[in-house]
Structures are given as structure tokens and as C-alpha cells.
Amino acid sequence: MAGVFCLATIAAPAWAQQSMYGQGQPPPISAPVVIPGHQGGGGSTLELPSSGVVHQNQTNIPPPQPPQQDLVIPTRQLRDQPGYQQVTVTVTQPNGSYLTDLQKQDFKLYMDGQQRPIEFFRQDLNTPVSVGILVDTSGSMEPKLPQARAAIMEFLRNLNDRDDVFLFAFSGRPFMLQNFTQDHALLASRLGLLHAYGSTSLYDAVVMGLTMLQRGRYDKRALLVITDGMDNTSAHVLDDVIADARRQGVLIYSIGIGDPNPSPVSISVFGMKVSGSSEQDIVDVKTLRMLSTETGAKTYNVQVVGDGGALRTDCAEISRELRQQYTVGFLAPDPGAGGYRGLRVDVPTHPGVDVRVRKGVDVGSRSPAGSAYAGSPY
């Protein structure tokens, strides 16, 4: 059944993934990590266990971030109104650079083709985000995990100090390795617990990640999914994932490792040539791109397996993009009628820019905008 999970799975301890391998003991937790500029640590190095997560020559000082700003949220009176919705908007110029100095009057919002007034506007130059990281640890990820760890470190390095983040591994089922925390060094120390084993339950992991994000403290929320495979063991189906993505205002970013269109290979079976593809080379970029497009995010594809530099660059770009967006709030007409409504946002004052936003909102279900503050201090 969509959206239903065993609470014991969500609350599984950080070493639960390893207990699958018959070891019976939790693996040792690595020493704390000091991330420059994070959590007031004041350190200048980044250290991880000798599992090849990151090397000292990769520990550059992170790029400067805009100064922290007060978190601006819609008034309670506005967000309690029936039909209130808010979405994240990304605006890029033809050269790919972000346009970050736009004002409310630059935007026009349309629902089902009809313009709607913008009731809330925020420049997300350094707005904190609740983020979930989902890492594929199926058997085929074995040679790629060291690079995935390094890439996630790059992602963490570029986050806002105030972002609250959680970490899931998924193979045959999802496992929580770190609950929500603003201690990014603590989450980094859990990366040594990632070990490859088993099949791929991508859909279950995304649905659980979306469920987990409902507990986030901030109204802006995102998932980062890193995978190299095709779903083959989930209890959920793709329609479940898309339905959940439509109900929630969560950006689903993803990085697919591998070839989305592998060339057929021929093997000999009882003297006959049989064509097929190596299953370990196939990554479901089509599904990942569908989820990202639906939510206004972006999908990356690292086609050269072993290209750790590209993986780190993609992760860093995703975390930086979260700092260069806008949040727009509006009231959907006739909210009692419910249903999925198409959405479009234009910037007519800047012809030629690319405007990326979720494809629509599900009106009448539990509003992500209205419920975003239920577990937060705001």
C-alpha cells in the first residue's frame, strides 16, 4: 500500500544494513569529521576513515556563501487559508548561470492557464533546507561507493550550516543510517557504514524519503538520490512515487551512474547467439528524470562508471543550486474541488531565461505548504 512503512524500518539503527551480512556486530563508527565553516568547528581539514572516502588533497576550503539571513516564512494567516500552496522556482540564463536578483513583480504564475496573484515571495539566497540523502547500496554499487562517499562529502561541504539532513541507504529495502541532524560532521561519519549488497528498491526508498521529509523543520525540502540501477524489488510502483511527489513540495534531485541506453551484448547459449544487455550497466535515468521534472529539480547522469570527479561536481552543483532559487506562494482557486492543477511560472521581464518549477500541485490533499510547519519551530 502506498505510503505505508514499518516504523521499525525507519527507526533502524545505523548498523542495521550491515546485520544483513551475518556479521552480527555493528561496524565501528569512524572518527568525527571536521568540515570547514560548519557547526563552528573552526577546523581546516576533513578526515574520514581509511575506506577511501576522501583524501586530504581534496579538502579545499568551501566557496564563500552569502551571509545568513533571517528565515522568511508566510504568515500563519496566509498558510492556513484553504488552497495555499508554495513552490520552488529556479531561473537560469542561457549560459547556465543562475539569476538570483529578481523581485516579486518579475514573476507571473499561472494555474491551469489562468494567472494567479503571488501572495508570498522569498529569495532563497541562503535559506535553510531540510534534505534527505538516499544512497543505492545494491551489489552493483560496490566499486562506486568510495566515489559516492566523496561526492556526498562535497554536497555536505556546500550546504548551509542550518540545513537539517538525514541519510538512508537502500538495497532490498531502505535503512536509516542517520536521522535528521544539523551536525553535518556526524552525518559524514556515517558514510563509512555504506556497504554494497543485494537488490534495488528505488521506489520504496523515494517514498520513504518523502515520508521522512514531512518531519523536516523547514518549508523548503529536497531529496538527493544516488543510484546506478533499475528498481527490481520495491513494494511500491512508479505511480505511487509520482503520486507522492505530486502531493508534496519536495525537490527530487538525482544522479544516475551508468549508461541509460546500454549497447546489446551477445552471449552464446548452447551454441546459439543471444542478445541482451548487462544489467549492472543499466541505470533508470528515464524514471529519475521524470521525478525531477515533476518536482522542478534536475537529474544528472554520470555515464562513465568510475568518473568520481563528475560525481563530486554534480553533488556540489545541486547543493549550490539550493542557495540560488525562489519560493513563491499562492492560493489555488476552488480548493474544495481538489485535483491536480497544472502550473507554470514565467519571468516576462527577462526574455530568454529558463524557468524551472514543478509541473503542478495536488490541491485538496494534505497541503505540503500547510503541513510544512507542523514539526518545525516556525
Q: How confident is the model at residue 303 (pLDDT cuts 50, 70, 90)?
A: confident
Q: What percent of the chain has pLDDT over 90?
A: 64
Contact in structure between 133 and 163 (CB atoms under 8 Å): no
Query: Which 3 state secondary structure label does DSSP give 252?
Result: strand
Contact in structure between 30 and 44 (CB atoms under 8 Å): no
| CATH numeric code, 127-267+276-321 | 3.40.50.410
- Least Cα distance to 160 among 179, 184, 141, 177 occurs for 184
Full-prediction pTM beyond 0.85?
Answer: no
What CATH class does 83-125+325-371 carry? mainly beta
Least confident of 46-55, 140-149, 214-223: 46-55
**Sign of the Cα pseudo-torsion (237, 242, 243, 247, in order):** positive
Q: Average of pLDDT values for 326-345?
A: 95
Least confident of 64-73, 159-168, 354-363: 64-73
Q: In whole angstroms, what is the distance from residue 38 CA to residue 142 CA?
A: 30
Q: How confident is the model at residue 319 (pLDDT cuts 50, 70, 90)?
A: very high
- 349 has pLDDT over 60: yes
C-alpha cell at 73: 516564512
Q: What percent of the chain has pLDDT over 70?
A: 72
Please tell me the predicted confidence (pLDDT) of residue 281: 58
Q: In whole angstroms, what is the distance from residue 319 CA to residue 157 CA?
A: 9
- b/e for 164-175, b at 16 or more Cβ within 10 A? bbbbbbbbbbbb
Q: In whole angstroms, what is the distance from residue 31 CA to residue 25 CA?
A: 18
pLDDT digit string (tens) for 74-93?
999 999 999 999 999 999 99
Q: How confident is the model at residue 365 (pLDDT cuts 50, 70, 90)?
A: low
Please tell me the predicted confidence (pLDDT) of residue 330: 97
Please tell me the predicted confidence (pLDDT) of residue 378: 55
Please tell me the predicted confidence (pLDDT) of residue 282: 78
- 167 has pLDDT over 60: yes
Supply the DSSP symbol for 260: S
The mean predicted confidence, pLDDT, of the chain is 80
Strands 164-170 and 174-181 turn out to be antiparallel
Q: How confident is the model at residue 69 (pLDDT cuts 50, 70, 90)?
A: low
Q: How confident is the model at residue 283 (pLDDT cuts 50, 70, 90)?
A: confident
**Sign of the Cα pseudo-torsion (310, 312, 315, 321, in order):** negative
Task: Spell out the SS3 assignment of 295-355.
Answer: HCCCEEEECCCCCHHHHHHHHHHHHHHCCCEEEEEEECCCHHHCEEEEEEEECCCCCCCEE
Q: Average of pLDDT values for 306-334?
A: 92
Domain ranges for the chain: 83-125+325-371, 127-267+276-321
Angle at 108 between CA 103 and CA 109, to 5 degrees: 120
In sequence order, which ranges of the chain are alpha helices (DSSP H)? Answer: 7-10, 76-79, 145-157, 184-189, 202-213, 238-247, 285-295, 308-321, 368-371
Query: On the CB side of 363, how many CA atoms lie within 13 Å of its CA?
Result: 22
Q: Average of pLDDT values for 136-149?
A: 93
H helix and E strand count, the chain: 9, 16
Contact in structure between 334 and 72 (CB atoms under 8 Å): no
Residue 79 contacts by C-beta under 8 Å, 6 or more apart in sequence? 73, 329, 369, 370, 373
Q: Average of pLDDT values for 3-14?
A: 43
Please tell me the predicted confidence (pLDDT) of residue 376: 52
Q: In whole angstroms, what is the distance from residue 124 CA to residue 126 CA?
A: 5
- 181 has pLDDT over 80: yes
